[in-house]
Amino acid sequence: MRKFLLITLLAMSQFLAAQERGKLTGLLTDKESNNEPLPFANVLIKGTDIGATTDFDGNYSIQVPAGTHTVQFSFLGYKTIEKSFTIKAGGTVTINQLMSAEEGVALDDVVIKTSSTKEKESALLLKQKNATVIVESIGAERLSKIGVSDAAAATTKISGVTKSEGSGDIYIRGLGDRYLSTTMNGLPIPSDDVANKNIDLGLFSTNIINNIGISKTYNTVGYSDQASGTVDITTKKYTKKGFSIGVSGGFNTAVMGLSSDFRNTLNMSDVTFGYHKKPFLLTDAIKYQGWDPSTSDNSTNYGVSFNAAYKFDIFGKELAIFATASHSKSFEYQEGEFRTYRANILDNAFPNLSYDPATALNDSPSVEQYITKINTTGYIRGDIKLNDNHKIGYNTLFVNTGRDNLYEQGRNGLGYVFDQQPQERGAFVRDQNYKQTIMFVNQLNGEHKLSENNKLTWAGGYNFVLAEEPNRIRNEAIIFSDSEVTYADVSDFSQRKSTQRIEDNEFNAYIVDEYSFGITESEYDDKPMKLNFGLNFRNKERAFSSQFVGVSTPGYTPGFPDSGFLVPTVDNISNTFTDLSNYNQAANPMLRVIEQLPDAYSADMTNMAAFTNLSFGLDNKLSGNFGLRFERNEVNIAWNVKNYQGPNGQARAGSLSREYNSVYPSLNLKYQLNDRNSVRFASSLTQTLPEFKEFAPFQYEEPTGRVIQGNPDLERSKVINLDAKWEFFPSRDELVSGTVFYKNIKDPINLALTRGSSGNFEFNNTGEKATVFGIELESRLNIIENEDEKSLLSANFNITKMWFNQDLYTNFQYSDVEESGLQGASDFITNASLSFNSRSEKEFTATVSGNYASDKIFALGSPEDLVNSATLFNDEIIEKGFVSLDLVLSKEITEDFIIKIVGRNLLNPDIQQTQKVTEFDNSGSGAINGVTDMVVQSYKRGSQLSVNFTYKF
C-alpha cells in the first residue's frame, strides 16, 4: 500500500509540474539558402540549461516554466538573435526566426561545419546515433565522393553487404535475394525480373537518391518477409533552388581492345532510345526477319542528366518541386570459358580441355558476350505545406532500361556438347536477347500533427512493371571447318525465336499513428515514450507468358552433300531461314516451323498487417523499442507450362494456394554509456516467403544453357534474429562499431542442382535448419585534419566474418557431404575507402575504394540418384571471391563547374565459378583417382573509365 501511495504521489507531482510549464515551438530558416529550413541550430532559454537543437526540418520544441523568458537562437557563422516572450502554464508560444550570416563569414565555412540536408554523412551518422533501432545509411554526399552511380553499388559501401557480379542483386550478411526486402520511401517496390524477388537496384541512379538505409534488424513497422535486412531508398526532394546539367563520356577497356566493330543482336535495329518496336509477330519473324547479329561503329559510353528545383506559390501555399531526368548508354565485352558436368562426367565444354588449341579454326575466344545497356530515368517530387501541422508530398519515378545481350559459345570450333548430332565436336551456340523493362512508381504521403502529442503519417503507392524479351533468338550449330557449318540436331527448338512478358501491378499503403507521452526533469523538449499503432496493406498481381517457335532442320552428314543445310559461316544463318523456298513441303531438304503452346502463369499476393510498438526512455541511459505485428499473407498461383507433371498424370496445368498467419515480435534496446558510446541489442522473429518464380514450375534457360525452374512444394522459412552492437562516435562525422549477430533459419530455401539427367537448377527447402553466426567491425575516421578541424584525409573500413551451417536432407546428400553453407553466402566481406579533400575554395577530392567478398555457393549440389549417391553426384558450384578497386577524382573549376574522373573495376579480375569433379577408377571398383577443381565459368568485365562534367546555374 505504501508503494502504491508513493507511486501515485510521484505521478501527481510530475503531472502538476507539467501543468506549470508551457511549450515553446518554432521554425528556424536560413536566409543564405533562400529561406530553407536550418537544421542543427541551437535554441537556448537564456539563464537556464533548458535548450534544444532544430531537427532536420528546422523545427524545435521546448517545455519551459511559465513566466517571462528570453530565447536565444544561434548557429555557427550566423548572427545570434535574442527574443523575449511570456508563456502561461499549459500554453503554447510559437516563435519563427530567419537566421542570417555574420558579415565577413563565408557560407562555405558554415557548410563545412554543419549538415544542411539528410544526404550529408554527418547528418546520417547523427540519425544513426540517436535512433532506437539499429540502422546504417549512406547519403548522396558520400556517394558522390566515391563515384557510385547506382543504388546497387552504393549498398556495398555498408558493412556486410556485397553485390552479385553483373547484376543489381545484393547480399546482406551473406544472405541473398529471397532473404531481404527493398522499399522506396518506406513503400515496397515490385521486381523487374522474373528471376528475382527484389528489383534490380542498378535501376536507381544516384541522381534520384537522397540516402540509402539498411536495417539489418527487424522493427514491426516493416514487412516480416525479410531475414537479412531491409534496403530503403529515400529519394530526393526540394532543398535549394537551382538547376544543373551533367554530361559524361568514357569507355570500357575490354571494348576498346576489340579488333573489330562492337557487335549487337539483331534486335538493336528495332530499338530507339532504349524502346523496342516489334515489327513482326513471332511466327512471321521466323521467315521475314533475319537471324544474324549486327555491328555498331560507336561503342563509347555516354550519359546526360538534368536536375531542377523550384518553389511555387499556389493559393497562398508553398509548393516545392524537384525534378531530374537522365539518359545513358554503355557497352561491355566479356570473353572466357564455360562448362557443365553431370554425375562428374563432362556434359558440354567451351572449350573442351581435351582439344589441342592448335586445332582452333580462328583466334576467337571460346565464349564471348557483347552487352549494351540503355537507361532512361525521370523523377518528380512535389511537396506542399498546408500549414505548420500538415504536409503532403507526391513523387513519381519512371525508368526505362534496355539490355542487349549477344552471347556466343564455340566460334573457334573447340566446343563440345554431349550427344549432339551429327557430331559432338565443333559445337556452336548463339543467344541473342534484348530485354526491356518499363517501371512506374507512384507514391503519395502525408504527415499531420493532430495535437501536441499526436502525429499521423500515411502513404500509398501504385507500381507498374512491364518486363519483356520481345524477340529472343537462339541457334545451335556445328562447325566442321572455317567454311562448313551445319545446324545441330538436338531438338525441334535448337533453332528458335521466343518471346517473354511479365506484367506486375501493385497497390500498397501504410498508416501510422504516433502518440508521445511522459516527461523527464532533465529533458524538457522530448517525450520519452512514443506509442505507435499502424496498418499495412499490399496487393501484388503478376501475369507471365512465354512462347517458343522453332524451326526443324534436317541434319547434314559429311560426305552426303544433299543430306541437309550447309552454310559457309555462323554469320550466314539468315540465308537459310529467310529463303521462303526452303519451307516448300515438296522440296528436299525442307524447313518446318513448329509453334509450341505458350507457357504461362498468373499469381497474386495479398498482405494485410496490424502492428504496434512502444519506444521508451527509462532515463538518460536506457531506451528501447518493443513491438508486435500480426500479418496475414495469402499467395495464389495458377500455371500451364510444358515441363509440369502433376499428380495422377496431370500435365501442364496446376495451381496452389498458401495462407500464412503469424505474430512477429521485435525488441530493440539501447544503453547510452556516455555521450559518445552506446551498446545495442536486438531480437526478432521474421519469415521468408517463396516468390512467384520460386513456386511456379516454369523453366527459364539462360544464354549459357543453364535451366532454372520453380518448385510448387516449397515451404516458407521462419527466422530467429539476434544482434548485439557497440557504437562509438569520436566526432560528428566519425564512427567505430562492432556487431555480433546470430540467425536460425527453419526450412531454408536454396537454389540446387536437381537429381536425374536434366542437369537443371531448382529452388528447394534443402535442410531442416541453417544457422548463421557473424562478426562485423566498421570504422569511419578522419586521419589528417587542418587547423580548423576540417578533415583532409579520411578512411572508411568495414569487415565481416561469418560462419554458416546447414544440415542437408537426404535428397541433397552425396558422397561424404551431409552439411553445407548457404547459397550466395560469403563468409568474409570487407570494404574500404580512402578520401582526400583539399578543403580549399576550389575543392579537390580524391577517393580510392575497394571491396572483397570471399567464395560463395552459386548452387548446392545433389546426387544423380539416391541409390548411387556415393559415386554419381553433381557437386556444388562455387563463385570465387575477387577484389574490385575504384578511383574518383573531382575538381571544382569554378563555383558552378565541376569535373570528375571515374575509374571502376581497375584491377579487372577474373570472375570465376568452379565445381569439384571426381575422377573414378575405370575398373568399376568405385575407387577415386582424384578430385579436381574445374573452372565451369570464367570471364573478365574490363575496366570502365569516364569523365563527367557538371554545371550548376
Percentage of residues of the chain with pLDDT beyond 90: 44
Task: Reply yes or no on whether the pLDDT at 37 is more than 60.
Answer: yes
Give the amino acid at 508: N
pLDDT in tens, 378-435: 999 999 988 888 999 999 999 898 999 999 999 999 999 988 888 899 999 999 999 9
- pLDDT over 80 (residue 509): yes
| Residue in the structure block whose three cell numbers are 542528366 | 305
Joined together, the cell numbers standing for residue 130 give 540517436
Where are any strands of DSSP class E within 489-620?
A: 496-517, 529-552, 592-595, 599-617
In tens, the pLDDT along 579-603 reads: 888 887 665 567 888 888 999 999 9
CA distances from 594 to 246, 409, 431, 489 (A): 50, 25, 19, 15
| pLDDT of 106 above 70 | no
Which residue in 683, 796, 799, 671 sits closest to 733, CA to CA?
796
- Average pLDDT value for residue range 84-110: 73
Separation of alpha carbons 418 and 348, rounded Å = 6
The pLDDT of residue 738: 93
Q: Which amino acid is at 367?
A: V
What's the mean pLDDT in 121-126? 64
How sure is the predictor about 112, in pLDDT bands with cuts at 50, 70 and 90?
Answer: very low
- C-alpha 832/C-alpha 884 separation (Å) is 11
pLDDT exceeds cutoff 70 at 519: no
pLDDT bracket for residue 31 (50, 70, 90): confident
Query: Cβ distance 950 to 897 under 8 Å?
Result: yes
**Is residue 109 over pLDDT 50?**
no
The C-alpha cell at 195 is 528471376
Measured CA distances, 259 to 254, 255, 256, 683 (Å): 11, 9, 8, 57
Question: Quick one: pLDDT at residue 404?
Answer: 95
Question: Higher pLDDT residue, 767 or 175?
Answer: 767
pLDDT at position 111: 35
Burial 561-582 (b: 16+ CB within 10 A, else e): eeebbbbeebeebeebbeeeeb
Residue 125 has what pLDDT? 66
**Radius of gyration from C-alpha coordinates of the chain:** 31
Residue 748: per-residue pLDDT: 92
What does the pLDDT look like over 738-751, one tens digit per residue?
999 999 999 999 99
pLDDT in tens, 667-693: 999 898 888 899 999 999 999 998 888
Predicted pLDDT at 522:
40
Q: What is the pLDDT of residue 167?
A: 57
Give pLDDT tens digits for 235-247. 888 878 889 999 9
Residue 14 has pLDDT above 50, yes or no: no
Better pLDDT: 121 or 470:
470
* pTM score above 0.75: yes
C-alpha cell recorded at residue 622: 536506457
* Average pLDDT of the residues in 923-944: 82
C-alpha cell at 381: 517530387
Q: How far apart are CA 583 and CA 576, in angstroms?
A: 10
pLDDT confidence tier of residue 455, bands split at 50, 70 and 90: very high
Beta pairing partners, 607: 538, 633
User: Over the stretch 882-921, which tens digit does the pLDDT of each residue have?
Assistant: 998 989 898 999 888 999 999 989 999 999 999 999 887 6
pLDDT of amino acid 331: 94
Amino acid, single-letter form, for residue 582: N
- Residue 27 pLDDT greater than 60, yes or no: yes
State residue 780's pLDDT score: 85
pLDDT beyond 80 at 806: yes
In this prediction, residue 41 carries a pLDDT of 85
924: left (phi over 0), alpha (psi -120 to 50) or beta: left
Ordered DSSP codes for 666-716: EEEEEEE-SSSEEEEEEEEEEEEPPPHHHHS--EEE-TTS-EEE--TT---
Q: Look at residue 859 in the predicted model and tell me its pLDDT.
A: 92
Structural domains of the chain, with CATH: 2-111 (2.60.40.1120), 121-238 (2.170.130.10), 247-952 (2.40.170.20)
Task: Report the 10 Å Cβ neighbour count for 927.
Answer: 10
pLDDT at 18: 44
Look at residue 613 and tell me whether its pLDDT is greater than 70: yes
Among candidate residues 86, 33, 437, 20, the one with its CA nearest the CA of residue 238: 33
Q: CA geometry: angle at 794 spanning 793 and 800, to 5°?
A: 150
The average confidence (pLDDT) of the chain is 85
Instruction: Write down the pLDDT at residue 227.
Output: 85
pLDDT at residue 33, rounded to an integer: 65
pLDDT digits (tens, 9 = 90+) for 766-780: 999 999 999 999 998
Query: How many alpha carbons fall within 13 Å on the CB side of residue 831?
Result: 19
Triad 703, 707, 711: Cα angle to 5°:
145
- The pLDDT score that the predictor gives to residue 5 is 45
- What is the structure's pLDDT at 123? 65
Of the listed ranges 31-35, 283-287, 459-463, the least confidently predicted one is 31-35
Highest mean pLDDT among 116-120, 558-562, 730-734, 749-753: 749-753
Q: Are 260 and 329 in contact (CB under 8 A)?
A: no
> Could you report how far apart the first and last alpha carbons of the chain are, in Å?
72
pLDDT band at 8; cut points 50, 70, 90 = very low
Per residue, the 3-state secondary structure of 843-868, as one string, reads CEEEEEEEEEECCEEEEECEECCCCC
CB neighbour class for 311 (10 Å; exposed up to 12, middle 13-18, buried from 19): middle
Share of the chain above pLDDT 70, in %: 88
pLDDT tens for 211-223 read: 888 888 888 888 9
Predicted pLDDT at 715: 92
The pLDDT tens digits of the residues spanning 857-873 come to 999 999 988 888 888 88
Q: Where are the alpha helices (DSSP H) in 258-346?
A: 282-288
Structure confidence at residue 12 as a pLDDT band (50, 70, 90): very low
